[in-house]
Structure 1
Amino acid sequence: MFLVGPSATVRLAIAVLLSLTMLGMEYRERHLSGFRSLLATITYPLVYLVELPYRVSEALSHGLASHRALLADNQHLFEENLRLRARLLSFDALEKENMRLRALLDSSFKIGDNVLISELIHVDLDPYRHHIQINKGSQAGVYQGQPALDANAVMGQVVQVNPWDSTVLLITDSEHSLPVQISRTGLRTIAVGTGKIDSLRLPFLPNNSDVREGDRITTSGLAGQFPAGYPVATVNSVQRKPGAPFTEALATPDAQLDRSREILLVWSNRLEDADNGEQAARPEETP
């Protein structure tokens, strides 16, 4: 009733002997290469199915790692872009400041006088007082009444001097007046501040004076504060009233009074020479 066969030990010995025989044949003469290829082809689907979970898990893990790396790279690039844009803004500001300083240097060469570049540090917020504060004072040799210019034209004059800073009264302040002349005709007059940052008034022009829109106004040098020839403003309108004692003109300042950040303080060689000549002509006092 029961099948009787070799024991497990005998079967194991036969299998081992058969395996060794096949290995020897394959090692020496390669008789089983075709059979091995056939077995590999038959068992490939089974091997693929066994390895499939590992391959899927590896692909998912690699995909997640790549996604995290992409997110990290994206965040890094975003932060780097912000830093570069901030640096670009600072470079743009430096470039504009460099252009302003170059313009100031060009103006100082055109002026031909001793100049000192100062920086605006405060603006008076009172709309009726056109005062600015600069970062140079008596320690730098600044004196009261000293002319102040920007790269284009006259801005005003120093009215208060402290050791480390000074206050400049702009030419548009209602309390400021400046002796000027019309460049085209040489006509001398007074430019008075209007209290508006973009306007000057010439109220004392004779009725028969030759003044036109577009005439350039420069300092006349008669008051002793400003040397002659500094640009001041450009006439934009002339109001002639029959029977009035004077003709009045309005002018636009050439200086960028509401935008300039660097200010030229001028020591005029011509004024110094005049002062030296006056002192030399003055007789010595006897004790």
Structure 2
Amino acid sequence: MNPLFGRGPSIQTRMTLAVILSIVLIFVDHKHDGFKQVRVFLNSLVSPLQYAANIPQNLLDLTTTSLAFRSQLIEENDRLTEQHLILSERLQRMAFIERENQRLRALLKSPAREVVDKMVTEVMSVESNRSSQQVVINRGSLHGVYLGQPVLDDQGIVGQVISVGSTTSRVLLISDITHSIPIRVARNSVRSIASGAGYLQRMELNHVPHSADIKMGDLLVTSGLGGRFPEGYPVAKVSQVDSNPSLPFAKVVAEPVAKLERIRYLLLLWPPNVEQKPIFEAIEQIVEQAEELL
């Protein structure tokens, strides 16, 4: 009985023909670029399949990223919750101390300190080198910023405004070699002048007598002299005291408490002795007056 379909070429013959055909196609494509359009068509045809094949990997990456981000948010939330409790306790203690301070001032018939106006600002650019250390912030004259305005971060004094534009201002850091600030030692109220040394983590006290009671670790705060910086804000901590008798003055080096190398958000202050106020307060006053008239 004969088979319904005749037997075709052998496997060896088919393989030989396939190899020869492949060599011919490779030669034609290499020499004449004859399959360029075919490749473009095949790539377009296969690309949806490639996207579909990548879907599981993309979903896995997205899931992993979401889990990692969620874990990070949980850790940050726990940290902020703990920090909130600590700050709440400090706030309660500060409220008690403030009440005690008010009573003592009343007994001594000393005027209470006025509240300082504030505004948050963000650093836009940084100029930091040996001869100039400045930053640019995103607040200007439209926000009530003025020349000489004190600037600080969450740790202490950062510097003062030296140039004001409409919506931006330039701040000179306390570590700049041209900057000086009146300070006093928080421990014993010894007064001096702290000047920048051209390095973000170094300041020097000028003309300190050898007999001055200044020790390593002492906190230096603003003295309020000169009327530029309000009194009592942290400036630096003493890191080195060298009382060499051969020198006319003691060498005192301090490190700024503000993190000048990684500042981002800053706080602008309007001391009580400054008549100029932030524009938002002026707007609020106008709104209040209009409501009273209505």
Common fold, TM-score beyond 0.5?
A: yes
Measure the CA separation in 2 of the matches of 1:227 and 1:260.
21
Give the 5 Å matches for 1:197-276: 197-269=200-272, 271-272=273-274
Q: Deviations over 1:256-281 (max 9, x none)?
A: 11112100000112x248xxxxxxxx
Please tell me whether residue 134 in structure 1 is matched to residue 116 in structure 2: no
Q: Is the 8 A contact 2:133 2:172 kept in 1?
A: yes
RMSD: 3.5
Superposed, 1:271-286 pairs within 5 Å as 271-272=273-274
Separation of aligned partners in 2, 1:253 and 1:263: 15
Which of these residues, 150, 158, 172, is aligned with residue 155 of structure 1? 158
- Structure 1: 4+ residue segments shifted above 6 A: none
CA gap of 1:245–1:89, structure 2 versus 1, over 3 A, is farther
Q: Give the secondary-structure state (helix, strand or coil) at the position aligned to 1:124.
A: strand
Q: Does residue 190 of structure 1 match 2:193?
A: yes
Aligned residues: 199
Q: Which runs of 5+ in 2 are unaligned?
A: 1-52, 99-113, 276-294
Matches within 5 A, 1:51-200: 74-81=56-63, 83-84=65-66, 112-200=115-203
Q: 1:227 to 1:243 in 2, by over 3 A?
A: same
Aligned to 2:57, the other structure's residue is in SS state: helix
Residue type at the aligned position of 1:84: S
Please list the CA deviations of residues 92-137 of structure 1 after superposition, one character each: whole Å capped at 9, or x if unmatched: 9x97xx89xx899x99x99941100000010014343110000000
In the TM superposition, residue 228 of structure 1 has moved relative to its aligned partner by 1.1
Change (3 A) 1:248 1:89: farther
Q: Contact 2:148 / 2:161 at 8 angstroms: preserved in 1?
A: yes
How far, CA to CA, are the matches of 2:197 and 2:167 in structure 1? 30
**1:203 Cα offset (Å):** 2.5
CA offset at residue 162 of structure 1? Answer: 0.4
Query: Aligned equivalents of 2:244 and 2:148: distance in 1?
Result: 35
Secondary structure, aligned partner of 1:264: strand
Which amino acid in 2 is paired with 1:75?
Q
Local SS of the residue matching 2:132: coil
Question: Which letter maps to 1:249?
Answer: V
Partners of 2:151 and 2:69 in 1: CA distance = 33
Provide Cα deviations, 1:142-192, integer angstroms capped at 9, x if missing partner: 000000000010000000000010000000000100011111111111001
Greater Cα offset, 177-186 or 110-119: 110-119
Q: 1:90 to 1:159 in 2, by over 3 A?
A: farther
Between stretches 71-80 and 121-130, larger displacement belongs to: 71-80
Are the equivalent residues in 1 in contact too, given 2:129–2:198 (CA < 8 A)?
Answer: no
Structure 1 counterpart SS, 2:154: coil
Q: Work out the CA distance in 2 between the residues paired with 1:88 and 1:165.
A: 36
Please report how far the alpha carbon of residue 82 of structure 1 lies from its aligned counterpart in structure 2 after TM superposition.
5.5
Distance 2:234 2:217 in 1: 13
- Letter in structure 2 aligned against 1:197: L
Q: Structure 1 vs Structure 2: percent identity of aligned residues?
A: 35
What is the alpha-carbon distance in structure 2 between the residues aligned to residue 158 and residue 240 of structure 1?
A: 35
Q: TM-score, normalised by structure 1?
A: 0.61
